[in-house]
Amino acid sequence: MAYSLRTMMVNVNACRAAAVPGGFLPLLCVCLPLLEVLLLNLSVRELAILIPVILASLTVHELSHAVVSLALGDDTAKRAGRVTLNPLRHVDPFGFLLLVVAGFGWAKPVTFDRSKLSSPVRDEILVSFAGPASNLVLAFLGALAIRLIVSVSGTGTGIALEAAFIFCSINIVLAVFNALPVPPLDGSHLYMAYLSKRNPTAALALSRYGFLFLVVLIFAGRFTGVDLLPIRRITQTILTGMLRVVGV
């Protein structure tokens, strides 16, 4: 599954600047200073929070695909060792490195066998959207944490609040990004099964070039400064709504 860290940080930084001022936890990480000069221009402190948050969020995302697939009758993911909270089973080393260094990467995709699903078209959609749904659940838990921290501390600043805000924001971004209807993202499963039957040639072309199209959009948006994907606006809308629901 593909992800855009630049998109995550654009939204995190915008929301944090608007609502939660404060500093980051100054953790000492031996391997991170080199990343300061790379494309993302993130501080060591930001990366020290972002990396474990992203690892946890990606792990839950991919695990959710596997669990729902198993619940619907397909044990392919279980036999592949994907029904686990061990991030090493879900994170692709090269994809994760690119995510940190270049701002775009991927995790190991969870495979499933449609022939083992009781209702292949419906269940494929359920398996696919289990990942984004899990990130929205995590985001809401993050919003509750924000509410709790504000209630206990009585202030709108602090390290714990910063971390909770980043956790909430990044999970929303993961959900929104993966719900985009572009192969190989989860959102494409809404129509790919139907398209494969009606127009196999078009489905094959989308499967083959969808990833390239996505990469072009991401990097074109980065270098032109034009928001070609609606991720930022949707993320901020969802985040604002969640915070209002929990009373922040």
Residue type, 239: L
Q: Which residues are catalytic?
A: 62
- Residue 155, judged by CB atoms within 10 A of its CB (0-12, 13-18, 19+), counts as exposed
Tell me how far apart the alpha carbons of residues 125 and 161 are, in angstroms, rounded to a whole number: 35
Tokens describing residue 232: 């930022």
Phi, psi torsion values for 42, nearest 5 degrees: -95, 150
Residues 77, 65 contacting (CB under 8 angstroms): yes
